[in-house]
Amino acid sequence: MDNNIQNQSLSVVRPLTSIVLATWMAVSFSSAMAILGNTSQVFANPLKSQQVNHLQINEVITSPSSIVGNWKGNLYSQGDDALTSVEMVIKQGANQQGTWKFIGENNTPFESGAVVASVGANNVTLEFKQKNKKPSWFFKCKLPNNTNLSCERVSNKLTKLTLKKI
């Protein structure tokens, strides 16, 4: 009879062990899914919408002003009636270099040299390099569009340069 009771105990313990093991695995699996679900939920939350700044979009869409091309205009001293005709050519390329010349009577250049342009947004700095080791002339310019330049000489604010793209 002891043998019979022992067999009955074992038959009860085995299913009980299986139930405990199955419950433990289910709880472990559920806990793991809950932890993984919380971790993944961080990535699944939608981003909060932000206000659109139309000025930023406009800056991205519009290209910077171009200084490249042929320009004609005048150099003058503010308050003076005398004008000097100026022609400038800036060639296509990364270094934005070209030539300038002052035009005199009979459309004859009387002074000329190289020019280097530095462009940033709507601002341009022009360096008129002179021949014979004379010091360069620097102009700070506004380029509100791709067709007009309005400049003043850095060392003398009364000296103005206005150019139009041709």
Q: Would you say residue 59 lies in a domain? A: no
Which pLDDT value is given to residue 134? Answer: 87
Which pLDDT value is given to residue 147? Answer: 92
DSSP 61-106: HSPPP---EEEEEEEEETT---EEEEEEEE-SSTT-EEEEEEE-GG
CA of 54: how far to CAs of 8, 11, 60, in Å? Answer: 81, 77, 10
Q: Judge if 75 and 121 occupy the same domain.
A: yes
* pTM of this structure: 0.59
Q: Judge if 98 and 158 occupy the same domain.
A: yes
Query: Hey, what are 148's tokens?
Result: 């007009």
Q: Would you say residue 57 lies in a domain? A: no
CATH of residue 90's domain is 2.40.128
Q: What is the per-residue pLDDT across 3-23, written as a single tens digit (0 to 9) for each?
A: 555 555 555 545 545 554 455
Q: What is the per-residue pLDDT across 107-136, written as a single tens digit (0 to 9) for each?
A: 999 999 999 999 888 899 999 998 888 899
Across residues 140-162, what is the average pLDDT? 94
Q: What is the mean pLDDT of the chain?
A: 76
Q: Would you say residue 60 lies in a domain? A: no
Q: Render the burial of 9-30: b for 16+ CB within 10 Å, e for the rest.
A: eeeeeeeeeeeeeeeeeeeeee
Whole-angstrom distance, CA of residue 142 vs CA of residue 139: 10
Whole-angstrom distance, CA of residue 92 vs CA of residue 117: 11
CA of 11: how far to CAs of 21, 22, 23, 101, in Å? Answer: 16, 17, 19, 110
CA of 97: how far to CAs of 69, 90, 92, 147, in Å? Answer: 11, 6, 8, 18
Range of the domain at 21: 2-45
Q: Judge if 29 and 82 occupy the same domain.
A: no
Which pLDDT value is given to residue 121? Answer: 80
Q: What is the per-residue pLDDT across 82-94, written as a single tens digit (0 to 9) for each?
A: 999 999 999 988 7
Q: Would you say residue 125 lies in a domain? A: yes
Q: Judge if 40 and 119 occupy the same domain.
A: no
CB 159 within 8 A of CB 140: no
Q: Judge if 139 and 94 occupy the same domain.
A: yes
Q: What is the per-residue pLDDT across 13-63, written as a single tens digit (0 to 9) for each?
A: 455 455 544 554 554 444 444 444 554 444 455 555 556 565 554 444 444
Q: Judge if 76 and 144 occupy the same domain.
A: yes
Question: How many independent structural domains does the chain possess?
Answer: 2
Q: Would you say residue 25 lies in a domain? A: yes
Q: Would you say residue 52 lies in a domain? A: no
